[in-house]
Structures are given as structure tokens and as C-alpha cells.
């Protein structure tokens, strides 16, 4: 696994890690985008070579720390949470992909975007803002417990509660145990990693999703990309946790699956995973590999 940092602006640097198959295998590159509170570490069960669910034996991978999370930085001077909303974050991802396209052949066999929760909404925004040469490389999407492209406006008291969820180790553990997961699906190492990731962010990144990212309406972006697909359909595998209380399965089916199917530019498969809440990549890591195989038509 190789570590890289791309400077976007004087205050914003995006950290990402890559793995490459050996010998090279002509499968699409997997791009992983994490949830609010996570980092590139969220995907360790899919990208660690020693994991029983690793995808690195058959695919090159890129895992990205979104701006302000993990080892990535973001604007702090004269900045606001709006600088961490979906649109500027999607621009970061496009910059990483453009950098990879011009410096390495890692994209030559196509791209599958894989997003979890906030990262899933981001994946749709990235798809919708790719320049033509990169858009033509997209082979499909995997959206896990996805936040919908439609806006969600939280009442002020609920927004305050969400900010406090990642205020301390104690509040993070409580949130993971009571809201985000069924703890029997996680190891103690998983829990320690989640705590570290949720604390390793700047406050603007934490607040950006609550104040702006959730409320951002990207439906027009998605509508716009359909017209640029030149008649082809993007194969999209959507996953919901049966017991998810953050993005419940009915909402995912209605506002993500239904929304995409009505647009006409997507071929959508939907799976509800039993015994799982919101942290799908950690609670049921094997579903990511199944989703990738479906996207590839296998």
C-alpha cells in the first residue's frame, strides 16, 4: 500500500493510498469514499492484503481521506463549514482522478466509484462533475447506506446533537454502539479505529456535512450527467442495512434507488443486508465484493 498527498490549494491537501495488483490485472480501479466520521481506514477490510474480504488481489484500489478527515487538510483561515460541503469535496476527488490519469496507467481499465453514506452522495456528485475523458472511464457505482441526492434539513436541536456525537471518545463509542452499528459485528480494533478517525478531523469538516452537505441538493447534477452518458447506463449497486436508523432501508429504496431508476441513466440493483446497521463496510465487508462483481456483470 502506497501513501500519497496531492496539494489542491495552500490550505487543502488530499491524502490517499493506492494498491496495485501483481501481476497487473485488467480490471477497473476501485475508488473508495468514506462516511462522515471515517477516513481511508474505513475500507481496511476491502483493501488490506491480509483481509479475507480484500479486493486488492483482483483490482487496483484508491482510498481517499476527504478534506479535513484522516490525514487530509482543508481550509481553516477565513473558512466556513460550507467549504466542506459536497461540491468542493467532489472537486477534490476529480483533482485526484485527473492527477492519476496524467501520471499513471492505473485508470486505463476503467473506474468503479464506491461510496458509503456521505461518500455515496459524494460519489454521485463526482460522477456528475467528471470531465468527458474521465466520465467515459466510469464502469459503475457501489452505494452503501447512501445519503440521498435530495436535501435533508435537520432541525437545529438535531444538528446540535449530531455535532456532539463526535465530541469525545465517550460520545463516539456511545454513538457507534447505539446508533451506527450492531457492536457484535465489530472487533475492538474496529472500534478503536472508528474512535481515532472520528476524532481526527477539524471542526469545520465535522460541521460541514451537518450544516451544508446534508442539505445540498445535487439532483440537478445527476440529471445533467444522464444527458452526457450518450445512451449508456451506469450499473449501480445500492446496499441498505436492514437495521440502519441513519439511512433506513425504506428511505434508501425511495430516495436513492427510486430516484436513480426514474432518471433513466442507471441500471440499479438493490440489496438489504440482514443484521446490519449503518457501518456496512465494517459490519458486512463481503457485500462490497459482491457489489463489484455485479457491476462487472459477473
CATH classification at residue 132: 3.40.50.1820
State the Cα–Cα distance between residues 285 and 264, nearest whole angstrom. Answer: 29
Quick check: 157 pLDDT over 70? no
Q: Name the residue range of residue 199's domain.
A: 2-295
The residue-averaged pLDDT of 186-196 equals 95
State the Cα–Cα distance between residues 36 and 121, nearest whole angstrom. Answer: 11
- Confidence class for position 165, pLDDT limits 50, 70, 90: confident
- Confidence class for position 230, pLDDT limits 50, 70, 90: confident
State the Cα–Cα distance between residues 286 and 289, nearest whole angstrom. Answer: 6
Q: Cβ distance 295 to 139 under 8 Å?
A: yes
State the Cα–Cα distance between residues 60 and 69, nearest whole angstrom. Answer: 23
Quick check: 47 pLDDT over 80? yes
Closest by CA position to 55, among listed 298, 297, 288: 288
This prediction's pTM: 0.96
State the Cα–Cα distance between residues 247 and 211, nearest whole angstrom. Answer: 17
Element (H, E) at 138: strand 138-144
Number of domains comprising the chain: 1
State the Cα–Cα distance between residues 281 and 185, nearest whole angstrom. Answer: 11
The residue-averaged pLDDT of 256-277 equals 95
Q: Cβ distance 66 to 34 under 8 Å?
A: yes
Least confidently predicted of 2-6, 7-11, 43-47, 163-167: 163-167
pLDDT of residue 159: 61
State the Cα–Cα distance between residues 278 and 154, nearest whole angstrom. Answer: 19
Closest by CA position to 145, among listed 266, 237, 225: 237
Quick check: 73 pLDDT over 90? yes
Rounding to the nearest 10 degrees, give the CA dihedral for residues 49, 55, 56, 59. 180
User: Which residues have a Cβ under 8 Å from the Cβ of 156 and sit 6 or more positions away?
Assistant: none
Spatial strand order of the sheet with 2-9 comes to 2-9, 12-19, 61-64, 29-33, 111-116, 138-144, 234-241, 266-273
Cα–Cα–Cα angle for 269, 273, 275, rounded to 5 degrees: 170
- Confidence class for position 162, pLDDT limits 50, 70, 90: confident
pLDDT of residue 264: 87
Quick check: 216 pLDDT over 90? yes
For cell 456535512, the residue is: 209
For 16, the 3-state DSSP assignment is strand
For 227, the 3-state DSSP assignment is helix
The residue-averaged pLDDT of 101-108 equals 91
For cell 438535531, the residue is: 158
Query: Measured between alpha carbons, how far is residue 153 from residues 164, 216, 289 in Å?
Result: 17, 9, 33
Amino acid at each position: 500500500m502506497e501513501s500519497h498527498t496531492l496539494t489542491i490549494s495552500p490550505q487543502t491537501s488530499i491524502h490517499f493510498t493506492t494498491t496495485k495488483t501483481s501481476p497487473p490485472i485488467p480490471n477497473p480501479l476501485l475508488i473508495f469514499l468514506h462516511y462522515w466520521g471515517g477516513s481511508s481506514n474505513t475500507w481496511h477490510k476491502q483493501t488490506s492484503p491480509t483481509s479475507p474480504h480484500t479486493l486488492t488481489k483482483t483490482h487496483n484500489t484508491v482510498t481517499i481521506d476527504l478534506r479535513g478527515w484522516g490525514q487530509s487538510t482543508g481550509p481553516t483561515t477565513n473558512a466556513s463549514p460550507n467549504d466542506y460541503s459536497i461540491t468542493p469535496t467532489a472537486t477534490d476527488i476529480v483533482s485526484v482522478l485527473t492527477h492519476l490519469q496524467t501520471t499513471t496507467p492505473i485508470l486505463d481499465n476503467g473506474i468503479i466509484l464506491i461510496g458509503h453514506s456521505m461518500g455515496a452522495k459524494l460519489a454521485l456528485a463526482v460522477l456528475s462533475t467528471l470531465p468527458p475523458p474521465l466520465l467515459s472511464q466510469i464502469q459503475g457505482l457501489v452505494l452503501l447506506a447512501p445519503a440521498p441526492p435530495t436535501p435533508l434539513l435537520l432541525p437545529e436541536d438535531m444538528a446540535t446533537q449530531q455535532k456532539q456525537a463526535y465530541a469525545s471518545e465517550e460520545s463516539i463509542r456511545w454513538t457507534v454502539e447505539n446508533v451506527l452499528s450492531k457492536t457484535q459485528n465489530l472487533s475492538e480494533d474496529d472500534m478503536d479505529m472508528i474512535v481515532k478517525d472520528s476524532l481526527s478531523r477539524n471542526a469545520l469538516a465535522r460541521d460541514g456535512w451537518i450544516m451544508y452537505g446534508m442539505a445540498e441538493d445535487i439532483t440537478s447534477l445527476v440529471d445533467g450527467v444522464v444527458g452526457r452518458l450518450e445512451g449508456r447506463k451506469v450499473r449501480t449497486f445500492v446496499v441498505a442495512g436492514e437495521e440502519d436508523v441513519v439511512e433506513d432501508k425504506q428511505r434508501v429504496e425511495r430516495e436513492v434507488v427510486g430516484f436513480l431508476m426514474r432518471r433513466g441513466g442507471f441500471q440499479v440493483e438493490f440489496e438489504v443486508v440482514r443484521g446490519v446497521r449503518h457501518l456496512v463496510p465494517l459490519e458486512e465487508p463481503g457485500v462490497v465484493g459482491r457489489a463489484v462483481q455485479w457491476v462487472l456483470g459477473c
